């Protein structure tokens, strides 16, 4: 904030153009003019850092919904999100249920879910030595000729 005050003070003296001041202070002209406007509107308090947090959270779930889902999970700790939603739909038909992925995220946020164990991967089968050739893969035509014993396929 101190450097902002220095920039504003230099600008208000009117001795140097804004472009030169911006180069010296390492800010864009747009930012400098924004600071000047805030200083003119709010005084020195307008130059303080502002919060970047959003003013509203339209997708936030209602606390009642979250608590209802958590109560259902605590009553049935081995059920997943889809089964909990189906149970809530039967017990509370007027309940505005979120998506199953949202319910799963709620479980994870409150520590009510565990990550699945990683499955062991089996190695892929290598070709048997009889199928390997030094000249590449055999064609089906050459294989069929050898098996039938005839040259009639030419």
Q: Read off the pLDDT of residues 132-147 as tens digits, 9 standing for 90 and up.
A: 555 555 555 555 555 5
Q: Is the pLDDT of residue 40 over 90?
A: yes
8 A C-beta contact, residue 72 and residue 64: no
| Residues 40, 68 within the same domain | no
Q: What percent of the chain has pLDDT over 90?
A: 62
Tokens representing 77 are 């700790």
> Could you report the per-residue pLDDT of 58-100, keeping only the tens digit for each?
888 999 999 999 999 999 999 999 999 999 999 999 988 899 9
Domain count, the chain: 2
8 A C-beta contact, residue 98 and residue 72: no
| Residues 42, 67 within the same domain | no
Structural domain boundaries, residue 98: 63-109
The half-sphere exposure of 150 on its side-chain side, counting CA atoms within 13 A, is 4
- Residue 27 inside a domain? The answer is yes
Q: Is the pLDDT of residue 127 over 80?
A: no
Cα 45 to the center of its chain, rounded Å = 36
| Residues 6, 43 within the same domain | yes
Question: Cα separations (Å) of 102 from 62, 75, 135?
Answer: 12, 19, 55
Q: Is 96 helix (H, G, I), strand (E, B) or coil?
A: coil
């Amino acid at each position: 904030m101190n450097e902002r005050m220095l920039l504003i003070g230099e600008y208000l003296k009117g001795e140097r153009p804004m472009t030169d001041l911006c180069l010296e202070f390492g800010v864009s002209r747009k930012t400098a003019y924004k600071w000047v406007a805030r200083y003119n509107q709010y005084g020195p308090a307008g130059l303080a850092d502002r919060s970047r947090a959003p003013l509203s959270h339209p997708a936030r779930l209602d606390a009642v919904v979250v608590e209802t889902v958590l109560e259902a999970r605590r009553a049935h700790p081995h059920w997943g999100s889809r089964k909990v939603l189906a149970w809530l739909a039967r017990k509370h038909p007027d309940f505005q249920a979120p998506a199953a992925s949202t319910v799963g995220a709620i479980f994870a946020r409150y520590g009510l879910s565990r990550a699945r164990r990683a499955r062991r991967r089996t190695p892929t089968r290598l070709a048997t030595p009889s199928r390997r050739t030094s000249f590449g893969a055999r064609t089906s035509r050459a294989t069929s000729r050898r098996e039938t014993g005839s040259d009639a396929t030419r």
